[in-house]
Amino acid sequence: MSVRRRNNVVVTGRDDGTTLLLAHGFGCDQNLWRLVVPPLGERYRVVLFDHTGSGRSDTSAWTEERYRGLDGYAEDVLTICHELDLRDVVLVGHSVSAMIAVLAANREPDRFAKLVLLTPSPCYLDDGDYRGGFSRADIDELLEALESNYLGWSAAMAPVIMGNPERPELGEELTNSFCRTDPEIARVFARATFLSDNRADLAKVSVPTLVVQCAHDAIAPRAVGRFTHERIAGSELVTLDATGHCPQLSAPEATAAAITAFVGGP
């Protein structure tokens, strides 16, 4: 099976521009990038895809063994780069895909020109002095609720993740995105997301990196963004005047501007 079909790869924007590869987060698909694609596409070549098991990917390619951790997703990112012969790529990872991007770039740093980590969290669990934002009991409760009633969990959690209660249509969109995901696949991806610990991987990043966080984010607090920035040598940190965990939807202009300012070039 070709990776283009497996991961529903879409290429848009300028053929002669720097290549941006956009990787979506848990429960989402490439559609959540739609508001930042037009401004980015005016300047760059934009490559979109759906993680295996998400969106319009070929779910027959999904196996629990391969995707119970984030390594399988990182391998998929590299396979996309290989098959499309993408080089000097700017890899933009949202939420859990920020850590997927870190893993991919650490394996093949020469493949990537820059990384953009959008609302990243290397570890959601509090651990000693590290404040990930969730206790183990919080995570266990979250996963138990997801596994027992996925649709109910989606309806309850999506507005919390999205924030912006004055704009309920954003939470509704994320709820619908969650509900399009197979519950079994979502269960495995959720465990890979919320139980992973990639803090040690941050120090291995050798690619120029931008960390983008929101001023108010219930899923990835500002302390987490600061931790990520401090652990990646030479990285830049931008805090958007935005609320929620998905600024590509809630603050697309500011998100696109932050990416463009960091990437530069044609």
Q: Which residue has the higher pLDDT, 71 or 265?
A: 71
The answer to whether the beta carbons of residues 154 and 175 sit under 8 Å apart is yes
| pLDDT (average), residues 3-13 | 97
What is the spatial distance between Cα 192 and Cα 173, in angstroms, rounded to a whole number? 23
| pLDDT (average), residues 241-251 | 94
Place of tokens 């429960």: 27
Catalytic annotation on 241? no
From 97, 217, 235, 250, the catalytic residue: 217
- Identify the DSSP state of 204: T
Catalytic annotation on 54? no
* Range 180-188 contact pairs with CB under 8 angstroms and sequence separation of 24 or more: 180/29, 180/55, 181/27, 181/53, 181/54, 182/53, 182/59, 183/150, 185/53, 185/54, 185/59, 185/62, 185/67, 186/26, 186/27, 186/146, 186/150, 187/143, 187/146, 187/147, 187/150, 188/64, 188/67, 188/68
What is the spatial distance between Cα 95 and Cα 27, in angstroms, rounded to a whole number? 11
Catalytic annotation on 57? no
Within 13 Å and on the Cβ side, how many CA atoms surround 25?
26
From 24, 54, 76, 95, the catalytic residue: 95
From 24, 51, 94, 245, the catalytic residue: 245
What is the spatial distance between Cα 88 and Cα 68, in angstroms, rounded to a whole number? 29
Q: Which residues pair with 112 in a beta bridge?
A: 89
- In terms of Cα–Cα distance, which of 146, 142, 96 is closest to 117? 96
Within 13 Å and on the Cβ side, how many CA atoms surround 47?
24
Strands (E), 18-100: 19-23, 45-48, 89-94
Q: Which residue has the higher pLDDT, 234 or 155?
A: 234
- Structure confidence at residue 235 (pLDDT): 98
pLDDT over threshold 70, residue 30:
yes
Average pLDDT taken over every residue of the chain: 95
Per-residue pLDDT tens over the stretch 108-133: 999 999 999 999 999 999 999 999 99
- Structure confidence at residue 266 (pLDDT): 67
Please work out, in degrees rounded to the nearest 5, the angle formed at the alpha carbon of residue 239 by the alpha carbons of 28 and 47: 40
pLDDT band of residue 159 (cuts 50, 70, 90) is confident
